[in-house]
Amino acid sequence: RLARRQSGRGRSWWWSDKFNRYGDIYKAPTALVVMNCTDVELSQFSSKNSPQMHISVSQSSKVHLTQLTTTAPWDSPNTDGVHIDRSQDVRVTRSTMGTGGECVSIGPGSRFVTVDGIVCGPGRAVSVGSLGRKGATESVEYIDVKNVQFINTSSGATIKTWQGGKGYARSISFTDINFTNVDRPVVINQFYADPYHVPNMGAVAVSNITYTNLKGTSRYRTAVEFYCSESGSCTNTHVNSVAITFPYGRAEALCQNAQGDTSGYVYPKIPCLR
């Protein structure tokens, strides 16, 4: 068990040549790393202005992070609140995160992850991925995101995979989510592409994705984006009870090659789902 406060003095890193934020190698440190650990509880931890990610959980199991506060300016690069990879049985609960990166990012090799009771903003999203960069085979499964408030974030409930990747992202649920002035509230993007590499038609398979009771406001007209590959690798998408509005007109959903169904009241209407 651990409870403490930490200031990362990240400003001296963010815009210096120590931090190559457009390349593959990041030299800036992470504020707190949980690695190769089992049965960890981190409670009442505050981190401000981390040089890069605030908390990283890697190659670990049975980890509970609760009552966290992570803060950094909206334009601070890659300052994710919590990043998880190659870990299982991880819970992130009852926390407030406002950074320049994802509030919670769930990366390759993650299984049985719960994100519950998060206030997110400013920042990007609670995201699954990105997966499959440079043709890698990567997987994520059994992810439960619920009771999250997104406030003035650039994205919300997000799944993103690289073109040319392999593997799967499956059995993922977003439940009881509220959006306030979010740029892109709901996103599946199978065309997350490296600008320095030519994309191809391969894709990480995305399946058994469930959205239930999502509501709030979108900053822009497009409130739902399902961009899926022509390879048919985006299946069993279930949308139930969604009401996301655009304050200045009709909201819309863009849907490409996604397969699945809707039930209950769903607005905006998602054209490629049954």
Residue 26 has pLDDT above 70, yes or no: no
**Over residues 222-226, mean pLDDT:** 98
Residues 130, 51: Cα–Cα separation, whole Å: 21
Tokens of 109: 């090799």
Looking at residue 272, the DSSP 8-state letter turns out to be T
Mean pLDDT value across residues 39-52: 94
Per-residue confidence (pLDDT) for residue 23, from 0 to 100: 42
Of 10-14, 64-68, 193-197, 207-211, the poorest mean pLDDT is in 193-197
Environment class of 114 (CB within 10 Å of its CB; exposed 0-12, middle 13-18, buried 19+)? middle
In this prediction, residue 16 has a pLDDT band, given cuts at 50, 70 and 90, of low
Is residue 95 within 8 Å of 126, Cβ to Cβ?
no
Strand (E) positions, 67-136?
A: 69-71, 82-85, 88-98, 104-106, 110-120, 126-131
Mean pLDDT confidence for 239-247: 98
Alpha helices in the chain (DSSP H): 11-14
Q: What is the pLDDT of residue 163?
A: 87
State how far the Cα of 68 lies from the Cα of 107, in Å rounded to an integer.
20
Which comes out higher in pLDDT, residue 146 or 77?
146
Q: What is the pairing mode between strands 260-267 and 234-245? A: parallel
Q: What is the mean predicted confidence (pLDDT) over 109-117?
A: 99
- Segment 49-55 shows an average pLDDT of 92
Cβ contacts of residue 162 below 8 Å, gap of 6+?
Answer: 130, 131, 132, 133, 134, 192, 193, 194, 204
Tens digit of each residue's pLDDT (9 = 90 or more) over 70-103: 999 998 888 999 999 999 999 999 999 999 999 9
* Alpha-carbon span 144 to 36, nearest angstrom: 23
Structure confidence at residue 84 (pLDDT): 99
CA distance 122 to 124: 7
What are the angstrom distances between the C-alpha of 235 and each of 9, 131, 228?
Answer: 44, 17, 9
Q: Name the token pair of 33.
A: 């790393």
Q: Residues with Cβ < 8 Å from 142, sequence gap 6 or more? A: 111, 112, 113, 171, 172
CATH superfamily ID and name for 5-267: Single-stranded right-handed beta-helix, Pectin lyase-like (2.160.20.10)
| pLDDT value of residue 5 | 55
What tens digit of pLDDT does each residue of 155-167 get? 999 999 998 899 9
At 243 the pLDDT is 99
CB-based contact 93:117 (threshold 8 Å)? yes
The pTM for the full model equals 0.92
